[in-house]
Amino acid sequence: MNINKNRLQQHFEAMSLVGKIGETGTCRPTMTALEKEAFTLAAGWMQDAGMKTHIDHFGNLIGRLEGSNPGLSVLMMGSHLDSQPYGGRFDGVAGVLCAIEAVKAITEMGLKPERSIEVVSFADEEGWRFTKGLFGSRGILGKLEPGELQRKDKDGITREQALIDFGCDPQKFRESEYKPGSIHCFLELHIEQGPVLDLAGKPIGVVSGISGPLWLTVKLKGMAGHTGSVPMPLRKDALLGAAEIIVAVNEIATQVPGNPTVGTVATINVFPASRNIIAEECVFTVDLRDIDLDRRNRYEKQLRERIAEITAKHKLSYEITEDTNSEPRYCAGWIKEIIGGQCKALDLDAPELMSGPFHDALALSYACDYGMIFVRCKDGISHNPLEYASYEDLALGAEVLFGTVRKILNV
Ligand SMILES: [Zn+2]
């Protein structure tokens, strides 16, 4: 191996202490002192690998290894160091730390690429704090949407304020954007977050593409009243309507057994949330994903019809907001071939597989060719402190990433 497995493991262990919860969990929200601490740690390793580092105005940590021809478009790699509120040690972290290790191996071997390499830890990939993710990776491409800076977290802090508190200047976003054509390609290593590789007994997978998520927020409005006195037929119970819609989401997503479609309601807010007041308002989120966009669109239509039916039945008014709507994005054939070749060279039988979760690579796919390497994660568990990938598998992934970078840069 060209990468240093022990060093990589030490980096994972050190990073896992930042925002540690319980024995093996992580809570490292985006744009907080904890993420800043993680950035400081990672920036030190980037500098040690020969990179110059800075935090841009979107809150991304960027390390750059200057090539001998700095005018060339860059090879970009990375992922994210922010975590879910109840997350694990590897989601996102793997992509940043393995990329740093790949660059470190390049400089240690004295290789001098012509093209510059950048390693990025993107701001707010996870999307739970302001209920919209991929902030940093969309930001650098000029793809933020109107109103994003006014989105608030649960404490009422706007994204704009969080950025300013983090040391960024939203007035200067332009300075941190990448011009079209300035990124040659993007590589992201990530734990699979699903069970396919684990079930197949394979440590590494070559990603074929990312299925697109549709994120909706549904708001139902009924009428509050005393739970002891309002007769059942006269009620306008927003929570009852929400319950039926949640079941409908599940039915729609599972109508054809074996399909990769997934549909989930995982957050719900009830107003006024008192045990003896009928719920007047209910707001919940829907997450619908499929690698087949036509099917996903058909299912979305079904869901909207069911919402109309169910709310009519319970005499509720409703509002549906679309927060995110991305189409499936496929990895570049030439990068898949290179990654596959590197796996073969290491005697790895690496299957090709789709990614259900989205990643920063999804945003980058609109700006350049991209490729992804998946590392096996135990039982497919992720977004959970139990998330686990072995250091052996992660080292293999870093080695494949290193070989891929070398091949692309021709060094
Ligand atoms: Zn991730």
pLDDT in tens, 216-249: 999 999 999 999 999 999 999 999 999 999 999 9
Backbone angles phi, psi at 376, to 5 degrees: -55, 135
Q: At which of 325, 355, 379 does a domain end?
A: 325
CA-to-CA distance for 2 and 399, rounded, in angstroms?
Answer: 7
Cα of 309 to ligand 1 centre, how many Å? 36
CA of 317 to the centre of ligand 1 (A): 36
In the reported structure, the alpha carbon of residue 79 is separated from the centroid of ligand 1 by a whole-number distance in angstroms of 7
Please indicate, yes or no, whether residues 309 and 373 belong to a single structural domain of this protein: no
Mean pLDDT along residues 316-341:
95
Residue range 45-63: average pLDDT?
A: 98
pLDDT exceeds 90 at position 125:
yes
Q: Which of 129, 131, 122, 123 is nearest to 323 (CA)?
A: 131
Is pLDDT of 337 > 90? yes
Sign of CA dihedral 60, 126, 284, 295: positive
Tell me whether residue 101 is exposed, middle or buried, using C-beta atoms within 10 angstroms of its C-beta: 0 to 12, 13 to 18, 19 or more: buried
Query: Do residue 268 and residue 159 come from a single domain?
Result: no
| Same domain membership, residue 144 and residue 82 | yes
Residue with more model confidence, 238 or 260: 238
**Residues 14-33: tens digit of each pLDDT:** 999 999 999 999 999 999 99
Looking at the predicted structure, is the pLDDT value of residue 194 above 90?
yes
How far apart are the CA of 156 and the centre of ligand 1, in A? Answer: 25
CA of 174 to the centre of ligand 1 (A): 26
Among residues 149, 140, 122, 135, the alpha carbon closest in space to that of 39 is found at 122
Q: In which band, very low, low, confident or very high, does the pLDDT at 291 lie, cut at 50, 70 and 90?
A: confident
Report percent pLDDT > 90 for the chain. 95
CA 277 to ligand 1 centroid distance, Å? 40
Q: From ligand 1's centre to the CA of 188, what distance in Å?
A: 10
**pLDDT band, very low/low/confident/very high, at 259 (cuts 50, 70, 90):** confident
**Among residues 288, 307, 325, which one ends one of the domains?**
325
Ligand 1 centroid from CA 217, angstroms: 22
Separation CA 188–CA 197 (nearest Å):
17
Q: Are residues 42 and 175 in the same domain?
A: yes
| pLDDT confidence band for 356 (50 / 70 / 90) | confident
pLDDT band at 354 (very low <50, low <70, confident <90, very high): confident
What is the 113 CA–ligand 1 centroid distance (Å)? 28
Q: How far is the CA of 40 from the centre of ligand 1 (A)?
A: 20
* 299: CATH: 3.30.70.360
Cα(92) to centroid of ligand 1, in Å? 4
Q: Which residues sit opposite 270 in a β-bridge?
A: 282
As to burial, measured by CB atoms within 10 angstroms (0-12 exposed, 13-18 middle, 19+ buried), residue 232 is exposed
Kindly give the distance from the C-alpha atom of residue 125 to the centroid of ligand 1, in angstroms, as a whole number.
Answer: 7
Residues 198 and 308 in one domain: no
Q: Average of pLDDT values for 53-81? A: 98
- The residue-averaged pLDDT of 163-176 equals 98
Question: Given this model, what pLDDT does residue 163 score?
Answer: 98
> Is residue 67 a contact partner of residue 117, using CB atoms and an 8 Å limit?
yes
Identify the CATH number of the domain in which residue 19 sits.
Answer: 3.40.630.10
Per-residue confidence (pLDDT) for residue 186, from 0 to 100: 98
* Domain limits for position 371: 5-211+328-409
Distance 127 CA to ligand 1 centre (A): 10
Residue 260 has pLDDT above 90, yes or no: no
pLDDT-based confidence at residue 258 (cuts at 50, 70, 90): confident
Same domain? 78 vs 201: yes
| One domain, residues 206 and 249 | no
Distance 303 CA to ligand 1 centre (A): 28
Question: In terms of domains, do 235 and 191 share one?
Answer: no
Give CA–CA dist 372/209, Å, rounded: 8
* Residue 342 confidence (pLDDT) above 90: yes
pLDDT of 142: 97
C-alpha–C-alpha distance, residues 236 and 134, integer Å = 37
Considering the domain architecture, whether residues 218 and 341 belong to the same structural domain is answered as no
**Structural domains in the chain (count):** 2
383 CA distance to ligand 1 middle (Å): 9
Domain boundary among 262, 290, 325: 325
Residue 129 and residue 234 in one domain: no
Quote the pLDDT of residue 36. 98
203 and 106 within one domain: yes
Do residues 137 and 196 both lie within one domain?
yes
- Between CA 311 and CA 103 the distance in angstroms is 55
Considering the chain, what is the average pLDDT of its residues? 97
Report residue 389's pLDDT band, with 50, 70 and 90 as the boundaries: very high
d(CA 387, CA 91): 8
Going from the Cα of 278 to the center of ligand 1, the distance in angstroms, rounded, reads 39
